[in-house]
Amino acid sequence: MALVLSENALTVLEKRYLVKEEGKVVETPEDMFRRVARNIAQAEKNYPAGDPDKWEEIFYQLMTSLDFMPNSPTLMNAGRELQQLAACFVLPVEDSMEDIFDSIKYAALIHKSGGGTGFSFSRLRPQNDLVMSTGGVVSGPVSFMKVFNAATEAVKQGGTRRGANMGMLRVDHPDILSFITAKEDNSELTNFNISVALTEEFMDAVKANREYALINPRTGLPASSLQAREVFDKLVDAAWRNGEPGIIFLDRVNKDNPTPQLGDIESTNPCGEQPLLPYEACNLGSINISRFVTGNTVDYKRLEQVVHQAVRFLDNVIDMSSYPLGKIQEMVRGNRKIGLGLMGFADALYMLSIPYNSFQAVEKGRELMEFIQRTSREASRQLAEERGAYPNFQGSRQQQLGMQPMRNATTTTIAPTGTISIIAGTSSGIEPNFALCYSRNVLDNQRLVEVHPLFEEVAKAQGFYSEELIDQVAKVGSVQGIASVPEDIRKIFVTAHDIDPEWHIQIQAAFQQYTDNAVSKTVNLRHDATREEVAKVFTLAYELGCKGVTVYRDGSRDSQVLSVGGEKTTPVAGGIVPRPRPEVTVGRTEKVKIGCGNLYIIVNSDEHGICEVFTNTGREGGCASQSEATSRLVSIALRSGISVDTLVEQLRGIRCPACIRRPGVNVTSCPDAIAKALKKSVANPAPISLQQFAKEGPKISAAAASGGHCPDCGSPIRHEGGCTICLNCGYSHCG
């Protein structure tokens, strides 16, 4: 059967997956799938019953049929020099300077190989705690997270994937309040997703409205206490503001830890669906469930066959992958965890005429995942008979429960499928579709309206299709409230923002019931959603047995809070609040001689004008803290609508003895230098426009993806499963 790919799939493959030589694509999609199939089938040589030629053909058909896709690193790297096939890893962060920087080094090696990393910072002693060896005090977990973040920014992953991290902190850590607000500013920790690890004790304390103890990890003793309800409310407020932190129910995760004899699970991969022990890696793949719908039923017989093939494929990946560290290889091959999940659930519901926001959909999700889990476990048991159980089976939870030996400690995970779902031409993971029609970039900056093929098919078959309708739907993404669309069609073709939050959680919980690891799911909320709705999502996720949850309120990372040139305003009690720092700025850097050496002044602008100032002192030193304080206050004032002339008037002429006494210095102080740099920037704007910069300049950092547009192509992005995904070019910031 010939491989049939959409135009969008071809774009994504050419940009991110196919082999290039000197920047030119030299591989077809068929070549890529053949490369991967041949490489993964080589693992069959390790086992007496293996048949590489037979399984190469089976694996090739498995992928080219679009029935199954492995995670992105396998598609990118199998059969190539890198041969790093795992998507993500968890590293320990121990409470010593040597161990902390070892973790940073290991993370850099992982990011270089194309993987993402998860960390728990819960072992680090809190801010201002004592350092016994020096008599000093420590800066705490959040400050070290910034060091990890900077290291990640410096490492470009294999030319195709930017580093992504998960940072976790236990809710009973003394620094929990500063962690909850660590990403209040969208420009901070741009390479991290963050989650708070909630304990059963904390959730009980929230319910009882009582205090709970904060534990110093250095001593293991209570350090203080907080009102649980107040901490929960702060967590809800932060998530309402910009979607972070997410939450994970840590005790629930460890209850299902398959190898408790090896230690506790402390963190997950960057998107939260794969709890892992230190030095473990995740090896994921997804079945395109929309390919198994025939008429009004699911073809479970064919699905059973594909599950068995996919489990074997993923087990082979473990053998074929080259791991960045020896410790990782030892842990991965000791537990042999795999995570088989599905994508295309929303499209399958369309095909089955089942509304996503219905108990019928909840039951269908539960039915599908129960089948996949049961079948994947049977496939793993058969592999154990053929190849042997995973080495750490002795003492495992499976052995304690009297289960038959399995080849893999876990078999199921629901991952965000991002770009692989674009390749497969289906909806992502178990998420609802984000829109039925949307615009994407094509050549010469023109925009093409993409229509969901299932909706287009139904609209034409029932006679209500028109170009006017498509234009109308493209503006809002949804058909709700459009009278020309029949009511029964509107009921079935719902999108993310048409669905009340409770249904998102009901669906997630149904899949979690039959998933070994966890479920990656973002509850997409309308912009006008309240904090109470976020609190309800968190509470319902706990009550229904989820292992964690992430919310994203539409527009919460790119909305402005101050009126500038007629934009919307948000009244704030207590005074003016500056608009957020823009995602993209352009500007100039000026080197100025001062009394202490040199001062480097960076003045940046966005479409509204000058919006920020940064300063940096040279190697000779200077009043770095004073200059930084001045530049921060100037930046806040600029984004609060205060004119540049007013700021220049206040700063110019301030005198510093070091500047006045040193020959050849043409400024009277650092503030005076900043004033002159601002004045020059007004008189001589940056030579390149913001639009040119976005089109021609260097790649925008991952911070740009925290807003509403893709940093690579400028198209709208969607937030799902802890990821930001671009439908146009396949950009994904999730690891």
Task: List, by residue number, the catalytic residues.
Answer: 269, 271, 273
**Both structure tokens of 607:** 């479409």
**Pairing of the two strands 88-91 and 437-441:** unpaired
Selection from 554, 559, 557 nearest residue 579 by Cα? 559
C-alpha to C-alpha distance for 411 and 369, rounded to whole angstroms:
12
Asked if 590 and 583 touch (Cβ cutoff 8 Å), the reply is no
**Both structure tokens of 264:** 């506790």
- Sign of the four-CA dihedral 424, 63, 413, 305: positive
Q: Which residues make beta-bridge pairs with 119?
A: 91, 167
Q: CB burial class (10 A; 0-12, 13-18, 19+) of residue 294?
A: exposed
- Residue 561 Cα distances to 558, 575, 636, 708, 710, angstroms: 10, 12, 13, 16, 22
C-alpha to C-alpha distance for 34 and 55, rounded to whole angstroms:
12
Phi, psi of 338 (to 5 degrees): -125, 160
* Longest distance between any two alpha carbons in the chain, whole Å: 87
- Helix or strand or coil: residue 93? coil
Selection from 434, 514, 424 nearest residue 71 by Cα? 424
Edge-to-edge strand ranges of the sheet holding 597-606 = 586-594, 597-606, 609-617
- DSSP state, residue 57: H
Asked if 372 and 413 touch (Cβ cutoff 8 Å), the reply is no
C-alpha to C-alpha distance for 382 and 387, rounded to whole angstroms:
9
Phi-psi sector, 77: left (phi>0), alpha (psi -120 to 50), beta: alpha
Q: How many CA atoms lie within 13 A of 348 on its CB side?
A: 26
Phi, psi of 49 (to 5 degrees): -90, 5
* DSSP letter string, 199-214: -HHHHHHHHHT-EEEE
